[in-house]
Amino acid sequence: MTTDAQRETIWKALDSFRTEVPSWGFANTGTRFGKFVQPAAATTLEEKFSDAGQVHALTGAAPTVALHVLWDLPNGVRDVPEVQALARKHGVAAGSINPNVFQDQEYKHGSLGNPDPAIRARALAHILDSVKIARALGSRDLSLWFADGSNYPGTQSIRRRIGWFEEALQEVHGHLGSGQRMLVEYKPFEPAFYHTDIADWGMALLLARAAGPQAVVLVDTGHHYLSQNIEQIVAWLLREKMLGGFHFNDRRYADDDLTLGSIDPYQVFRIFHEIVSLEREASKPYDVAYMIDQSHNLKGKVEAMVQTVCTAQELYAKAALVDQERLARLQDECRLVEAEECLRGAFWTDVRPAIREWRRSKGLAQDPLKALTESGYVERMARERGQRNRGAIATYA
């Protein structure tokens, strides 16, 4: 049972919390062995916007949808009017813009780090086109992830590739509009298994700083080695004013892209705590983009996304409940058990009743997952999209 003061804190936190859903999270996905087709999966851009609109209508916390350029805007800037029309129709806006410089055969040996200058130029041109798309859509963030790397020692020059990345990212930065940001993501391995060009937060930070003041770091919670202390990375990036955003998901082994908090909700809480504690100290919000990046291979697409957004709201609300002044005092006095219990106490608080009350006050469903089931939306989409998805089964077989 939360107190009146706690309920007020939870409501205030929920009023400010927003996260972004990914368009690709509603489409058929799978593993390196093949795709697993679902009858209700989105197969068109309109279907992705429709699903994203449902998630936002149910949760009140997901007003934007991230777009992948090749998958969602194959014709580049010419597709912008369609995106704008779909945004108006379904009540969600275009969010971060994600270039794709990893799926084409030319990128087998890298994109911006490729030894072939012609391929580097092609990758750069695509990213610059993505900047134009972002500006046309009014999207602030350009989200950059690179699969570049090598699989065997001696097969690539690591140092030369650093220089190629610096040069290209500086060029991209020069084309950013006022208020736009470049988010540089990192990943320790896969698909590269000997060296990855941007393998950790330090490399991403150095490349972002070399690019320019509108470049910051994007943290994907699945892109770390087992047992890595992600909240410590977050703390460093906060201190350096270089934390731009997150791709939230969960993992058991590596980049599993599982639903948020399904394996370790305490870790997500600790990440939120670092951000909330800084905001309390500064008495102002920190500008960080909370984005979701998940692959719902087995779970229903819309159901999983609603589940994740609700989990994010719960964990953010819990982080807001930490008594920051008391915690700081206990830390300074090295009262270890009491300090840990101060943190843990907030995590173990059942915030769901207060969140249900907040939802009711906003005219939202008190139980979004239940409301989704009762609406019949997923079953209706399965009927409407089923034939196309059954055809996809033959394609992927």
Using the predicted structure, report yes or no on whether residue 269 has a pLDDT greater than 80. yes
Q: Which two tokens stand for residue 262?
A: 């399904």
| Mean pLDDT estimate for the chain | 96
Q: How far apart are CA 74 and CA 78, in angstroms?
A: 9
Contact yes or no for 223/187 (Cβ under 8 A): yes
Report the run of H or E that residue 237 belongs to, with start and end. Answer: helix 230-239
pLDDT at 34: 82
Residues 230-246: pLDDT tens digits?
999 999 999 999 999 99
User: Domain 4-392 sits in which CATH superfamily?
Assistant: Divalent-metal-dependent TIM barrel enzymes (3.20.20.150)
Q: How far apart are CA 180 and CA 141, in angstroms?
A: 6
Using the predicted structure, report yes or no on whether residue 396 has a pLDDT greater than 90. no
Q: How many CA atoms lie within 13 A of 217 on its CB side?
A: 29
Q: Which two tokens stand for residue 5?
A: 């003061």
Q: Is the dihedral of CA 144, 147, 150, 156 positive or negative?
A: negative
Residues 288-336: pLDDT tens digits?
999 999 999 999 999 999 999 999 999 999 999 999 999 999 999 999 9
pLDDT at 207: 99
Q: What is the DSSP string of 107-169?
A: GGG-STT-S-HHHHHHHHHHHHHHHHHHHHHT--EEEE----EESSTTSS-HHHHHHHHHHHH
Using the predicted structure, report yes or no on whether residue 102 has a pLDDT greater than 50. yes
Per-domain boundaries in the chain:
4-392
Q: How far apart are CA 364 and CA 379, in angstroms?
A: 21
Contact yes or no for 355/309 (Cβ under 8 A): no
